[in-house]
Amino acid sequence: MPEAPRRGRLFILSAPSGTGKTTLRKALLQRVPNLAYSVSYTTRPPRPEEVEGRDYRFISKADFEEGIRGGRWAEWARVHGHYYGTSAEDLERLLAAGGDVLLDLDVQGAEALAGRFPQSVTIFLLPPSLEELERRLRARGTDSPEAIAVRLRNAAAEMACRDRYRHVVVNDRLPAALEELAAIVGSYRP
């Protein structure tokens, strides 16, 4: 009897805003072969450097809410006043084809998806400190002081959830954090 095709594995990366998650995600995808990125949908406006379909799929609040009612999302959450979600159809297609998938999710989304896919490998990315996180957020120059204050409060709450993850990586130095992430992913692949 032929062996059943390998089903893909989910790798979920979570981190407070400004921790370097996007930078590390992009570097990890370049470094690890045959690892697909599941592009999330969001209702927030794109940042200047973001590209539709590469960084996010930007949709209206009405379209997102229709997707909630229609069961379109494998997971979804409202974060910082905007919706974020993962298409159940996109995810299932990638996994069924045997592809490993990297997702970039907030704590709520990671918890929901790991509940639906218990074999998911969850990785929490920490900043070296809250002070360094504040410095990074200010240096980014994309948020108002009020928005930064909200992000810092949310970061403290998110960091309190790190024990729910299989792995925790501190992004103190980018090259070292990338090495650690690549080693984690590699340890779960055939």
How high is the pLDDT of residue 77? 85
Q: Is residue 53 part of a domain?
A: yes
How high is the pLDDT of residue 140? 84
Reported as a single tens digit per residue, the pLDDT across 145-163 is 898 898 899 999 999 999 9
The strand order across the sheet containing 100-104 reads 35-37, 100-104, 10-14, 121-126, 167-170
User: Is 120 within 8 Å of 163 (Cβ atoms)?
Assistant: no
Q: Residues 24-37, buried b or exposed e (16+ Cβ, 10 A)?
A: bbebbeeebeebbb
Q: Is residue 4 part of a domain?
A: no
The pLDDT confidence band at residue 36, using thresholds 50, 70 and 90, is very high
How high is the pLDDT of residue 136? 85
CATH value at residue 88? 3.40.50.300
Q: Is residue 171 part of a domain?
A: yes
Angstrom distance (rounded) from CA 120 to CA 117: 6
The pLDDT confidence band at residue 59, using thresholds 50, 70 and 90, is very high
Q: Is residue 40 part of a domain?
A: yes
How high is the pLDDT of residue 17? 84
Q: Is residue 3 part of a domain?
A: no
The pLDDT confidence band at residue 176, using thresholds 50, 70 and 90, is very high
Question: For the chain, what is the mean pLDDT?
Answer: 92
Q: What percent of the chain has pLDDT over 90?
A: 65
Q: Residue 54 corresponds to which tokens in the numbers above?
A: 């590469």
The count of structural domains within the chain is 1
Angstrom distance (rounded) from CA 86 to CA 105: 9
Angstrom distance (rounded) from CA 22 to CA 27: 9
Per DSSP bridges, beta strands 35-37 and 100-104 are parallel
Check: pTM over 0.95? Answer yes or no: no
Type of residue found at 52? E
Q: Is residue 59 part of a domain?
A: yes
Q: Is residue 47 part of a domain?
A: yes
Q: Is residue 2 part of a domain?
A: no
How high is the pLDDT of residue 170? 96
Range of the domain at 96: 10-187
How high is the pLDDT of residue 56? 93
